[in-house]
Each structure stands twice: as structure tokens, then as C-alpha cells.
Amino acid sequence: MVQYMNNSGFNQWNAMREKNNTKPRAGFFTWLFMFLIAWWLIGLFVPSKQEQPKTTDIAQIEKTNVKSETRVADNVSFDVQGLRISKIDLLQHKQSAKSEEKVSLLNGENNFIEIGLISPDVKTPNINTHWEHKSNLLHWNSENVHFVRDINVNEYVITITDTIKNNSGKEISITPYANIVRNGVEDKSSVVETGGVVYANKDLDYTNWNQLNKKSFAYSTVRGSIGFADQYWETILSIDANDQTMSVKKNGENYLAQTNAAPVKVAPKSETKINTYIFAGPRSSDALKNAKNFIPGIEETIDYGWFWFFAQPMLWMLNWLFALVGNYGIAIILMTLTVRVLIWPLTRKSYVSTMMMQKMQPEMQRVQKLYANDKARLQMEMMKIYQTHKTSPMSGCLPMLIQIPIFFALYKALLISVPMRSAHFLWISDLAVMDPYFLLPIVMGLTMWLQQYLQTPTKATGNDAMASTQRVMKWLPILFTVMFAWMPAGLVLYWTVSNLFGILQMYIIKKTTK
């Protein structure tokens, strides 16, 4: 995008304005940049307003002596240890492109999900209860009350169905609860929301790791969900019941997300069922499309960022092109060409405006010298020149303005795309991380320099604003090369192809425009 700043009409207009104003003023892009930074800081430091109900801490972090068993489904395998579920392996996802080891969630000490029941009327199963196994069901009896637990899997959703059969002669009250406990390992990302995720009162709330280290957050809702999200994976749970209280916080060295539902009354000689749903899988639209049928609000946990209206269709296009060509590197190239073709009219307008501004330079310089002491007349004469040539100072900036949201949207799309983690292209084994050999950033810097060189046919001299701008702009290819060296290789590939297309486009426009 920066190549449009070098010889754009905006630069010419800004140079004239600076020359005739003694007091420096913040330009449009300065104010835009300051607004975006302020918006980001407000979202980072100002917590969302939520009710702070009183919650009962039912978490039992201590170890259990119950023997574990492993359940295996198509997409996940996990260990069941009484009330707890842990070591959830995602069978369709590898740790890295070079590893055959599967991605494992809640693996290790003090990492588990606990789904339990408490009651003031009857003894309920606890973490050390030894269940009886019958036909893949878990059974346990207590004071004429029979507890049966059934565990099923639907893609990445684990369903826990607790059946309470009240064989006694009195009504009993059962309160379901569910906890996610994970140790203090934080999967931080500078641009993707990670940490606690809460869906309450039809509103999604993120509480990042730094916030959780400082305070706890509690919510009251009719039906919601709660859990933790990393850059590519998340563990979210929801009790299929109304009137829930939920909280997320740091508990000692661990992070805890818990939800308690309202008590359920079980009449004598009757039974009731309580369903608890767990999602443990990738933060992808395909996986969450099925999960939203069980867990409210989970489809909103994908962090598309501010420019979600660009990120969503771009991610869809990227996946569609991958299904067509079978390689994400080629898909990124095709998507880049598609985007550049779509904004071709704006780019052409920018190039034509730049050439027109160069043609107007002698006349503009003459007017600036003639009315150097009459600012009002100078402004009027400059506007006449723009009207005569049917151009404007801002016309050269249109492609840059449209590419800013596209750039950030693609950056976000690449960082949240789970398949991109292990996508390879040429020498790059993972397009979601930086190029290990820094070759692609160097090529990107060279194409950026060439495009800037071809677009600057005349060199400004002296100490005016245009000359100062050109001296600064010549360092941008080096600056961008260093900055892009640590960015995802897929993003650098997009920028490189965009530069190459821009060079070709500039050549065609120069040959076809009188």
C-alpha cells in the first residue's frame, strides 16, 4: 500500500500545504492512526460491564485415585476418570507439519474438565467415586438414588448425560456443575483473542490472560457457555439448563472456568436427565457449525477482528481455492490476483492521477512562486488547476485506503486459519509462521523497491516536503523487509504477489493511457 504514498496527489497537496503553513498540523492518516490505536487501547484496558453475582467454588483440584479409561471416536480420543475428562487428543490435527504427534488439549497434571452433581438431600458422586461399568454406561447407587452417566461424541462435541433415578420416598434437589481446570501455561497471541471466553446474555466476552491474572469475572445468564480459547483451539462447555452462574479466574497456579446451573427437583419414584456439552477442538467455522447445535454462542468465538466483513469472505475464498487447487500457497496467489483485479479501476485511477500530478508540477510551482505571500489566492489558484485537470489531491490514495482493511483482514484470516498451520509451499513447511530462511521477505522487499523506483520517475531536490518525503520513502522497502521477516509466510507471499502484479499493472497502464 505504501507505494501509492510516494508520488500521489495527496503528497503533492500536503507538500504545498506545509510550505504555506508555519504551524504543523496532523494529517488525515495521522488522525486515523491515532483513532485506531485509541480504539485498541480502550478495548484492551476497559473491561466489559457484567453483573458480578456470587458464585460457589466447587472446583476440586486435588488428584483422584479413580482408574482412567480411554474413549476413542472419529475426531477425538480422551481419558475418562470418574467425573473428569482429560487428555483430549484431536486425531485430525498434528502438533506441527514435521510431527506425527496429535494436538492434545488438557494434557498433563491439573488439566481436566469435571462434570458433577451436588445435593443437600443425598450423597452424590465425587472425584473418588468408583463407578460400575455396564454396557459402556457408568452406574452408581446412593441411598435409593441411582446415578447413570452416558458419554457420547458428535464430531468435536462430547455429551455427558446424567440420569438421576429417585427411588426414594422424598423429593431431592440436584445442582449440576461443570469446571474446566488448566494449568498456568498461557498460549498468548498478539492479534488473536485468547484466554477466557464467556457467552452470557447473548453477548460474547473475552477475558485475556493478563486480565485473569489480576481479577476474576462472574456472570449470570439464562443459558450460556464458558471456557478457554487459544490461537487455534478451544475448550468450551455448557450445561443444558436455565439460570446459570458462571465465572472465570485464576485459582492459585491454575486457571478455572466454571458454571453452576439452578437446582433440579426430582420427585419421588421418578427420574430426570441433565446434559452437559463439551467442545474440544479447532476454532474453525466447519467445526463450530456442528457445535452450535449444542453450545450457545460458540460460533461467535472465532476472532475475525475489526475487519470481519473482509476477513470472513477472504477466509471462505481461501478455503474454496484450496479445495480447487490442493495447495494453500497457490490458493493465496490466486486470491491475491483476484483481489487486485477487483480493485483494478481504483488502481488505474491512482496511477493516472499520479501521472497527471507530474504533468501539473510546472504550473503548480509557478503559482506557488507567484502567490507565495497571498495564501488565500494561492489556495484558489491551486483549486482551479485541479479543476482544469479534473483530478484531486486524494485520488492517488484510493488503492491504499482500500488495501488497509484487506491487509489486516488477511493477516487475521491467516492467523486463525487452522489448516494453514501445516500448509506447505515450496521451501516453506508452514505458511502460518515466518519463513525460516527469510527468502520470501527479501523477495518482497526487492519487489517493493522496484515498484517504488518505477513509480518515481523524477527525483525531488532541495529541502521541501516532497524531497523529504522521497528521502524517507526510499527506506521503506528495508523497513518492511525487516518487519515482514517475522510475519506469517502466507502474508508475505500475498504482499509479494501483490507487488509483482502492481508492477505489471503499472506497465500496462502506462502503455495504454495517453
Predicted local distance difference test score (pLDDT) of residue 158: 95
Beta pairing partners, 248: 217, 257
Predicted local distance difference test score (pLDDT) of residue 278: 95
Beta pairing partners, 274: 162
Q: How many CB atoms lie within 10 A of CB 466?
A: 22
**Least confident span in 14-18, 67-71, 316-320:** 14-18
Predicted local distance difference test score (pLDDT) of residue 8: 46
Largest pairwise CA distance in the chain? 104
pLDDT digits over 478-513, tens only?
777 887 777 778 888 888 888 888 888 877 777 776
- Residues 257, 228: contact at Cβ < 8 Å? yes
Beta pairing partners, 94: 102
C-alpha cell read off for 437 = 530462511
- pLDDT band (50, 70, 90) for residue 175: very high
Helix (H, G, I), strand (E, B) or coil at 378: helix
- Give CB contacts under 8 A, 24+ apart, made by 390-394: 391/9, 391/353, 391/356, 391/357, 391/360, 392/9, 392/353, 393/9, 393/10, 393/12, 393/13, 393/14, 394/9, 394/10, 394/13
Q: How many angstroms from the chain centroid is the CA of residue 142?
A: 47
In terms of Cα–Cα distance, which of 240, 238, 160 is closest to 198? 238
* Helix or strand holding residue 480 (H, E): helix 476-484
Backbone angles phi, psi at 362, to 5 degrees: -60, -45
382 pLDDT more than 80: no
- Rounded to whole angstroms, how far apart are CA atoms 50 and 84? 30
pLDDT digits over 313-354, tens only?
888 888 888 889 888 889 889 988 888 888 777 777 777 776
Residue tagged 505458511 (cell numbers) = 431
- Residues 413, 432: contact at Cβ < 8 Å? no
Predicted local distance difference test score (pLDDT) of residue 458: 53
Predicted local distance difference test score (pLDDT) of residue 153: 94
In terms of Cα–Cα distance, which of 335, 477, 455 is closest to 407? 335
pLDDT digits over 45-56, tens only?
443 333 333 444
Distances in Å between the alpha carbon of 228 and those of 127, 233, 250, 485?
22, 9, 12, 30
What average pLDDT is seen over the chain? 78
pLDDT average, residue stretch 273-296: 91
Dihedral sign computed on CA atoms, order 211, 217, 221, 224: positive
Predicted local distance difference test score (pLDDT) of residue 68: 83
Tally the C-alpha atoms within 13 A of residue 93's C-alpha that lie toward its C-beta.
24
Beta pairing partners, 117: 176
List, in order of start, the domains of the chain with CATH numbers.
3-16+310-512 (no CATH), 108-125+157-303 (2.70.98.90)
- pLDDT band (50, 70, 90) for residue 26: very low
Cα angle: 156, vertex 489, 312; to 5 degrees: 50
In terms of Cα–Cα distance, which of 83, 138, 90, 84 is closest to 109? 84
Residue tagged 458419554 (cell numbers) = 151
* Contacts (Cβ under 8 Å, ≥6 apart) of 36: none
58 pLDDT more than 90: no
How is the beta sheet containing 157-166 ordered, strand by strand?
132-134, 137-142, 145-154, 157-166, 270-282, 233-239, 225-229, 195-200, 203-207
Predicted local distance difference test score (pLDDT) of residue 24: 40
**Least confident span in 53-62, 90-99, 140-149, 427-436:** 53-62
Predicted local distance difference test score (pLDDT) of residue 145: 92
- pLDDT band (50, 70, 90) for residue 275: very high
- Give CB contacts under 8 A, 24+ apart, made by 72-80: 73/153, 74/153, 74/155, 75/153, 75/155, 75/156, 75/281, 76/153, 76/156, 76/158, 76/280, 76/281, 78/158, 78/280, 80/151
Backbone angles phi, psi at 292, to 5 degrees: -65, -15
pLDDT average, residue stretch 56-67: 66
pLDDT average, residue stretch 78-107: 87
Q: What is the DSSP letter of 243?
A: S
Predicted local distance difference test score (pLDDT) of residue 32: 55
